[in-house]
Amino acid sequence: MIHLMICPNHLAYGGTQLSVRHWLPYLDRDKYRVTILAMGRGGLSESFESLWPVVYDDNNYPNIERHIAELKPDLIHFCVAGGPDLEYVSRAAKLAPVTETVMCPRPASNAAEVSGVTVISEYVKILQPPGQQVAITELPYDPNAYPTEASFDRAHFGIPEETLLVGSFGNHRAENAHFMKLVRDFDRPGVHFAIRSDMRYPYWRGRNRITVLRQRFSEAEKIAFFRLLDVFLYPTSNEAYGLVFLEAMAQKTPVVSYADSCIPGTVGPGGLLAARHDRRHLRAQLDRLLDDADLRQRIGAAGAQLVAERNDPQHIADQFDAFFSHALANAKRGRYSR
């Protein structure tokens, strides 16, 4: 049996941690024994601890050598942002075979020291230097990872009834402001907007058209929110994949965003995209969906089917199995990803 140690940083709610939480339960349990080494606790700690042994270190794994000596993993897998080499990966690679998933749109870090690199999209793959050997393991979507025992309606979120509902999530990219600018200039009746965000927005006009939800969502609330939406409007750019798109599409909610970075590949037939930073085009794509209930239904169904097939967690786990086997073979031959 292969002792696999997964290092997903802090066990907070994030794309890295949720991705691991979605595919790792499907990895062959007769072949792998899994231990989680995290930098610290977070909102997903309870979920991880219910499935695997979890050991906590601190920021940047200062005690990585001690944990390797005590746990004796056959293979260590890090989830990294990419870019500059990480000291803790270098230290670990001196003691055991190491692989990594590059979670952001950057070149792989520590490529000369690890036995395998995988990236989460074709877009991230093309950002790797010439000659870099990388696999692609797209983000999974596991519906079983989300609680379903609770049901939440519009009243729970304080959202008006009897309107078409366009929703979004706040982020720190500049394009997030395009959502609010569209709301302020929106002039058609019968449509309401809602956004879950910690950010503070200036309201020059249009305040009655939007509900800003500042409370943190549980996983069950997040999925319920997506199910309430007629359209998920998420203008963004420079995404490595976009788990939030999968979460919306899996609920048969059509997406509107920009045709930038990985987004056309991630969304596929599950949405309508506008040219990057073309807010008029963004509005036109939104209007197309708001005007046509049949189009919303067709695009929503196509997106859900795409996620169910392409992002099936068992399929992704099988890809990781092949990736880990290849990396262990590389380690035995003394080969590295670059």
User: Helix axis angle, 293-310 relative to 279-291, nearest 10°?
Assistant: 100
∠ CA 32-33-38, rounded to 5°: 120
Cα separation, 137 vs 19, in Å, equals 11
* pLDDT tier at 338, thresholds 50, 70, 90: very low
Cα separation, 11 vs 41, in Å, equals 5
Nearest to 136, CA basis, from 116, 155, 109: 116
DSSP letters, 71-127, are: H--SEEEEEE--SS--HHHHHHHTTS-EEEEE-SSSPPSSTTT-SEEEESSHHHHTT
Structure confidence at residue 158 (pLDDT) = 93
The residues facing 32 across adjacent strands are 2
Cα separation, 320 vs 313, in Å, equals 10
In the block, which residue shows the tokens 């309430």?
A: 228
* pLDDT tier at 208, thresholds 50, 70, 90: confident
Mean pLDDT of 80-106: 97
Phi-psi region of 206 (alpha: psi -120 to 50; beta: other; left: phi over 0): left
Per-residue model confidence as pLDDT tens digits over 69-80:
999 999 999 999
Count CB atoms within 10 A of the CB of residue 162: 7
3-state secondary structure of 232: strand
Structure confidence at residue 209 (pLDDT) = 87
Query: Does residue 24 have a pLDDT over 60?
Result: yes
Count CB atoms within 10 A of the CB of residue 194: 21
Per-residue model confidence as pLDDT tens digits over 118-176:
999 999 999 999 888 899 999 999 998 887 766 799 999 999 999 999 999 987 788 87
Q: pTM of the prediction?
A: 0.92
∠ CA 78-70-100, rounded to 5°: 10
Average pLDDT in the chain: 93
Domains of the chain: 2-140+312-333 (3.40.50.2000), 145-310 (3.40.50.2000)
Cα separation, 210 vs 214, in Å, equals 13
Cα separation, 94 vs 89, in Å, equals 9
Per-residue model confidence as pLDDT tens digits over 238-266:
999 999 999 999 999 999 999 999 999 99
∠ CA 19-157-295, rounded to 5°: 70
Tokens for 312, please give them. Answer: 């099936």
